[in-house]
Amino acid sequence: MNIKKIKDERIEKIQNRYGTHAFIIVSALLFSSILFKSVVMNLPFKEYLTELVIFLIGMVYYTLKITNAGLFHTVKESKIYLITSFALISILFGILVGLTNMFRYQNGQFNEITMFSISILTAEAFVIIIIAWITFEKLSKRSEKKQFDVE
């Protein structure tokens, strides 16, 4: 006799929440390791390539699954909060890469070239993040529409 276990929705929700938390923790640790190895230890790219690949695969998989399910545009946070956080991430990225380049190529001297590179990198990161956001939101809406048309 084959008896299927009925899974309690409450237990499944708790398992999903812990799985999400674990994914966030592992992703943050991988990203921290990448930053530490590239900025602090000044290691060559091939030394942290594996961590970068694992991090990117996880992020791409999660984003594609959420987008394909039509859930990307239903994120509960407000768009102003998300754009503000994108701007902060972009600024941190620009400053981090600009300072790294300053110490690597300009013998630690802060000058107008450093400021220019930080400004350009910040703007580029922000534009790339916003373009990715708009693309994923449109794809998510399209996927959601297809799901409702099928049902």
Q: Are residues 59 and 89 in the same domain?
A: no
Do 80 and 18 fall within a single domain?
Answer: no
Say how many C-beta atoms besides its own lie within 10 A of residue 47's C-beta.
12
Q: Are residues 138 and 104 in the same domain?
A: yes
Q: Which CA distances in Å does 58 have to 30, 47, 52, 63, 82?
A: 11, 19, 10, 9, 20
Look up the domain containing 30 and give its range. Answer: 10-71
| Residues 98-110, mean pLDDT to the nearest whole number | 73
Tokens representing 36 are 């530490």
Question: How high is the pLDDT of residue 100?
Answer: 74
- Residue 71: the pLDDT is 66
- pLDDT attached to residue 80: 65
Residue 7 to residues 4, 15, 64, 84, 114, Cα–Cα distance (Å): 9, 11, 27, 39, 57
Confidence class of residue 6 from pLDDT cuts 50, 70 and 90?
Answer: low
Asked if the structure places residue 1 within a domain, the reply is no
88 and 146 housed in the same domain:
yes
